[in-house]
Copies of this chain bind each other. A is one copy, B any other.
Amino acid sequence: MKNYKMIIQYEGGRYNGWQRQGNTPNTIQEKFENVLFRMTGQKTEIFASGRTDAGVHALAQTANFKCNTDMSCDEIMSYINRYLPEDIAVLSIEEVNERFHSRLNAKSKTYEYSICAVKKPDVFTRRTVYYIDKYPDIDKMRKASQKLLGTHDFKGFSSVGKTKKSTVRTINSIEITENGSYINIRINGNGFLYNMIRIISGTILEIGLGKAEDNCIDFIFKTNKREYAGTTLPPKGLKLAEVLY
């Protein structure tokens, strides 16, 4: 069996997230597997670097699948793109070692959360940006974000319930950039808990807006309690930007 690694892109607004699950219709995984079944005539599973939640986008998700085919990579890419819906696309494809696995081999992932502070959402970016009506203090946000760097128990910054699994993760970098009325929070880490980026972004934003104390992050780490962290920002502002191997 050949193993193919793809970089893929999707606008997640219409979908129930990446992962195929029971009877939930309209997942991105299902859209791919339907096309792969059509192409190969066989049930073919596709593995992404991680599931993205309902409504979350991907600028560059990585996924792999195995199949036997005589088609070239270009031919496979053309075939898949022809049958995918127009809000999902394969950007590139290559044959890789049969042991490569998109999720298990991922070293780190980068997510972006996009916010815009204007009176009225821009009609052209409304599907992929979270709009607020007051401009936050970016310096405060940057300063607060530095407290999140490194290895911590991020349970308080997640929607994970009781679990025996580790909730310790490492954040390598957080960059907050501005472009006009747009604010972009870019976070790289070795892995993320359920809703972790959206809660971290919500917490940093509330600090920037003066709705939360600058030192609340210390307190959340100390208590590990979700209720002390900020709101879970909506999925539409979140994009999986890059997966590193």
A interface residues (Cβ-Cβ under 8 A, vs B) = 9-11, 57, 59, 77, 81, 86-91, 119-124, 126, 128
How far in angstroms is the closest Cβ of chain B from A240?
13
**Which of chain B's residues has its CB closest to A82's CB?**
B120
Indicate the member of A86, A119, A121, A126 with the most B CB atoms within 10 Å. Answer: A119
Contact of A89 among B86, B88, B121 (CB under 8 A): B121
- Contact across chains for A11 and B87 when beta carbons are under 8 A apart: no
Chain B residues whose C-beta falls within 8 Å of the C-beta of A128 in the assembled complex: 124
This chain: copies in complex:
2
- CA A90 – CA B89 in complex, angstroms? 33
**What residues of B have a CB within 8 angstroms of the CB of A90 in the complex?**
120
Please report the C-alpha to C-alpha distance between residue A5 and residue B123 in the assembled complex, in whole angstroms.
20
B123 near A86 with CB under 8 A, answer yes
* Interface contact A126-B86, CB-CB below 8 Å: yes
CA distance A195 to B190 in the complex (A): 52
Interchain residue pairs A-B with the least CB separation, the first 7: A11-B123, A89-B120, A87-B123, A81-B120, A89-B123, A9-B123, A86-B126
* B residues in contact with A126, CB < 8 Å: 86-87
Residue of B nearest to A78 (CB): B119
A88:B124 contact, CB within 8 angstroms? no
**Could you say which residues of chain B place their CB within 8 Å of the CB of A81?**
120
| Chain B residue at minimal CB-CB distance from A92 | B119
Q: Which residue on B lies nearest to A12, using beta carbons?
A: B123
Contacts of A119 in B (CB 8 A): 77
Specify the chain B residue showing the minimal Cβ separation from A11: B123
Nearest-CB residue, chain B, relative to A125 = B124
Residues of B within 8 A of A89 (CB): 120-123
For A81, A89, A121, A126, the residue with the greatest tally of chain B CB atoms inside 10 Å of its CB is A89
**B10 in contact with A88 (CB, 8 Å):** no
24 contacts between A and B (CB under 8 A): A9-B122, A9-B123, A9-B124, A10-B123, A11-B123, A11-B124, A57-B124, A59-B124, A77-B119, A77-B120, A81-B120, A86-B121, A86-B123, A86-B126, A87-B123, A87-B126, A88-B123, A89-B120, A89-B121, A89-B122, A89-B123, A90-B120, A91-B120, A124-B128
* Docked complex Cα distance between A81 and B86 (Å): 29
Minimum CB–CB distance for A7 against chain B, Å: 11
- A59→B124 CA distance, assembly (Å): 9
Measured between alpha carbons, how far is A197 from B9 in the docked complex, in Å? Answer: 31
